[in-house]
Structure 1
Amino acid sequence: MGNEAAVIPQESFAQRLLTGSVKKSYEPAVDMDWDAPLDPDKLFLPPEVISLYGTELWESMSHPERRELSRQELANVLSVGIWFENLLTRLLLRELLRDDPTTRHSHYTLTEMGDECRHMMMFGKLIDRIEARPYWPRLPGRLAIGALALFLRGSMTWVGALVGEEIFDALQRRTLDDPQLQPLVSRAMRIHVTEEARHIGFARDALARRVPTMSRAELAYTRLCVAVAAPLFVYLMTNRHMYERAGLDGRKARRIATNNPYAKQALGTGAANLGAFLDKHGLIGPIGKRIWRWRGLYS
């Protein structure tokens, strides 16, 4: 989609996304069977995307312990998704202040914001349905998330959108048809994948159009933010509190997960297309590549 979008005028591309939204969008409140019982044996994430998969610690765990870890990891992933989509919605709202409200580009921005609001509700309902607690940031975390809106401007609005959307999107695509997975989780991920594909195309198109107009300072700043995004993403995905709620030593489990080659491979698979896109447009410099490789996000 990225290559095709580069040669289509911005308004035509936005109109295509609007048309796609009309043809295929969801309302999670009615498009999911929230009263369906949970399977007492099935996992909440596929084994191969669970952070401890393949480690000695994982092999020592019983099925009920693995199931509980999968439940806590899903709750953490959904919580991070809510934080991110909250931030992204604020960034998109700021973009609208500079855009012409009569354009198709502005209209799709509003459409995406509506999607993100429904996704936040869906994630919140799913955390509640699996009888988990959200992993909500404490005051320092809330202040940091709020401060990001001050730094993510211009090209970084779209880089931030892609880092948050593409890696998560690639991982969740692996959950769609896994027979070991709770059907309710599969349904939520299918809804999110469908609508997120349009969001990713929108962000890629906007970023690709901006790159040729970047100053050296903006390019350097963008590369710096891209480099920082990798360790931040891994940090959020290996929240030590989720291990503690699963009955494990949180610090030890997080250290094992961070160095787990299977987890790095899963993250690398998820980040491969994004890394290639950023590299193609010169947005991931030598330092960024080293950091992404260190965290398993770049090959």
Structure 2
Amino acid sequence: MGDHATSAPAATAHAAHESFAQRLLTGSVKKSYDPVVDLDWDAPLDPDKLFLPPEVISLYGTPLWDAMTPEQRRELSREELANVLSVGIWFENLLNRLLLRELMAGDPTSRHAHYTLTEMGDECRHMMMFGKLIDRIGARPYWPNRFERWTISGLQLVLRGSMVWVGALVGEEIFDAIQRRTLDDPDLQPLVARAMRIHVTEEARHIGFARDALAHRVPTMSRAELHYTRLCVAVAAPLFVYLMTNWHMYARAGVEHGRAARRLARANPHSRRALGLGAANLGAFLDKQGLIGPIGTRIWRRRGLL
């Protein structure tokens, strides 16, 4: 009787987990995109419009920004977009590797596995869309330096179990919140706004999937896994935010003293507020799951993420 009492809630939770994955599969059939055909890559770029909204550009509100001409601001927005898209490509590359590894231990007949494969297909198309967009706006991708490449590759070794889903949420939710501020901006390049709308639509399903998977796992965590997850949460979001400001993008945009510009951007209260807004929903969700902890709270607050 004790075994039955223990297994019944687990069976109910598993059924709900599978039902949610099936709804996501159905949503993917109804609304998915192919960036090759769903974006007009031949449409001309507007010579007067920015590539990111001013309020999400890292130097917005600083004396350096105020001294810039419209042309300099446009060029900085182009390079910042190229950097954001490059970070997105690295992240989605890493996420697909993690998801593929998870499938090795999963049930290939489950709806959860089927949606995992669907999400991987989405991410492959997103990487191609980001690469095409970088090329179309006349920019070059930003490559991680040697230390960052080692860090990104090393994450495959430490992001396991619950941390796969925490890592997915950190990359997806902060990026998603920034993108949502581009959707209806009349001063933004139409091609950029369209690409961001496609990504936001499909990422909404990915975020829901990761949240469901993490919430499903939390009740079964051992104390050791809980502490490990809290430690990883403490550093994951600050690491992702760190990658969003690359000193090379200031140099390419013609801003003198790129490293000094990066320091200014990282201390910029406007930039910190924009990233904080991006992390707000994620922080609330992780806190509800008991996954931030006191160390994470201090680090996230210091970085302006709470």
TM range (shorter): over 0.9
TM-score after normalising by structure 1: 0.96
State the alpha-carbon separation in 2 of the partners of residues 187 and 8 from structure 1.
36
Q: Aligned pairs, how many?
A: 293
Identity in percent:
81
Provide the aligned C-alpha RMSD in A: 1.1
Superposed CA deviations along residues 69-128 of structure 1, whole A, max 9, x for unmatched, are 000000000000000000000000001101111111110000000000000000000000
Letter in 1 for 2:208: G
State the alpha-carbon separation in 1 of the partners of residues 227 and 254 from structure 2.
43
For the pair 1:194 / 2:194, whether they are aligned, the reply is no
Paired position in structure 2 for 1:117: 124
Residues 16-165 of structure 1: pairs in structure 2 closer than 5 A: 16-165=23-172
State the alpha-carbon separation in 1 of the partners of residues 252 and 231 from structure 2.
34
Paired position in structure 2 for 1:279: 287
Alignment equivalent of 1:12, drawn from 6, 19, 25: 19
State the alpha-carbon separation in 2 of the partners of residues 254 and 140 from structure 1.
18
Alignment equivalent of 2:213, drawn from 201, 206, 231: 206
* Cα drift, residue 133 of structure 1: 0.4
Structure 1 residues 43, 99: closer, same or farther in 2, change over 3 A?
A: same
Do the aligned partners of 1:230 and 1:291 also contact (CA within 8 Å) in 2?
A: no
Paired position in structure 1 for 2:192: 185
Do the aligned partners of 1:230 and 1:295 also contact (CA within 8 Å) in 2?
A: no
Paired position in structure 2 for 1:265: 273
Letter in 1 for 2:114: H
Letter in 2 for 1:22: V
State the alpha-carbon separation in 1 of the partners of residues 140 and 157 from structure 2.
29
Letter in 2 for 1:228: V
State the alpha-carbon separation in 2 of the partners of residues 252 and 282 from structure 1.
38
State the alpha-carbon separation in 2 of the partners of residues 233 and 261 from structure 1.
18
State the alpha-carbon separation in 1 of the partners of residues 241 and 38 from structure 2.
31
With 287-296 and 136-145 compared, the bigger mean Cα shift is at 136-145
State the alpha-carbon separation in 2 of the partners of residues 141 and 263 from structure 1.
22
Do the aligned partners of 1:43 and 1:70 also contact (CA within 8 Å) in 2?
A: yes
Unaligned runs of 5+ in 1: 1-5
State the alpha-carbon separation in 2 of the partners of residues 131 and 71 from structure 1.
8
State the alpha-carbon separation in 2 of the partners of residues 8 and 179 from structure 1.
44
State the alpha-carbon separation in 2 of the partners of residues 291 and 8 from structure 1.
37
Paired position in structure 1 for 2:233: 226
Structure 1 residues 70, 116: closer, same or farther in 2, change over 3 A?
A: same
Letter in 1 for 2:165: W
* Cα drift, residue 161 of structure 1: 0.1
State the alpha-carbon separation in 1 of the partners of residues 144 and 241 from structure 2.
16
* Cα drift, residue 137 of structure 1: 1.9
Letter in 2 for 1:29: V
* Cα drift, residue 142 of structure 1: 2.2
Alignment equivalent of 1:251, drawn from 250, 259, 262: 259
Alignment equivalent of 1:294, drawn from 285, 302, 305: 302
For the pair 1:215 / 2:222, whether they are aligned, the reply is yes
Letter in 2 for 1:274: L
State the alpha-carbon separation in 2 of the partners of residues 66 and 7 from structure 1.
51
State the alpha-carbon separation in 2 of the partners of residues 174 and 7 from structure 1.
36
